[in-house]
Homo-oligomer: A and B are copies of this chain.
Amino acid sequence: MKLLREKIQDEGIVLSDGVLKVDSFLNHQIDPELMKEIGLEFARLFKKEGITKIVTIESSGISPAVMAGLELGVKVIFARKRKSLTLTDNLLVSSVYSFTKQEENTIAVSSQFLNKSDRVLIIDDFLANGEAAKGLIDIVKKSGASIQGIGIVIEKSFQKGASELKNSGYRVESLARIQSLRDGKVSFVEEFEEVKA
């Protein structure tokens, strides 16, 4: 998605070889117009999958997920992230390790909002090692619903998440795919590689 790649080039801040900060339009300040375009693109990519529900995780997944949900005409569930779990009323839970924050979080979705007949699109802001996505997959599987695809705003293709998820048979659609953050520079996966992938 060209608009998104341009936004990343213009406003993204490379903090290290592994960390890209996009606080000006996605992770802290949000650009609603860009989120709308992202939602339209996810809807275009997954419109044939008969999606009935979108599952994301708080907080940065919410905007792209809600815009996609608006376009696909389906509701969005955001998983809650918690250090420890106190409520246990019919929750589907999973455990997510954050490499960035070096901490383990429990994520939870109320079981009443997902059922066997649901065809789920998982949406998240970043895909790196795939921990959050795997946690969401785990939760959706526990509900008995099927996973029709995974939509990612920014994929760090040099980390293992995307290839692992694809090897597990999931359709992963990432709107921007980053090849490298070396030397403080954002390099995207080349177009011809995108076609091969």
Contacts and interface: CB of A to CB of B under 8 A. Distances in A.
Scoring A62, A65, A113 by chain B CB atoms within 10 A of each residue's CB, the highest score goes to A62
Contact of A28 (B24, B28, B74, B110): B110
For the residues of A in contact with B, the DSSP-based class is mixed
Nearest to A64: B66
Quick one: copies of this chain in the complex?
A: 2
Contact of A63 (B23, B29, B66): B66
A50 B33 CA distance: 18
Contacts of A70: 32-33, 35-36
B30 A66 contact: yes
A108 to B, nearest CB: 9
Contacts of A67: 32, 66
Contact of A66 (B35, B78, B113): B35
Interface in A62-111: 62-63, 65-67, 69-70, 73-78, 80, 83, 109-110
B59 A29 contact: no
A31 interface: yes
Contacts of A75: 25, 29-32
Interface residues of A, number: 31
A58 interface: yes
Nearest to A62: B62
A24 B57 CA distance: 16
Interface of A: 23-25, 28-33, 35-36, 58-59, 62-63, 65-67, 69-70, 73-78, 80, 83, 109-110, 113
26 contacts: A24-B113, A28-B78, A28-B80, A29-B75, A29-B76, A29-B113, A30-B62, A30-B66, A30-B69, A30-B75, A30-B76, A30-B77, A32-B66, A32-B67, A32-B69, A32-B76, A33-B70, A35-B66, A36-B70, A59-B59, A59-B62, A59-B80, A62-B62, A63-B66, A66-B66, A66-B67
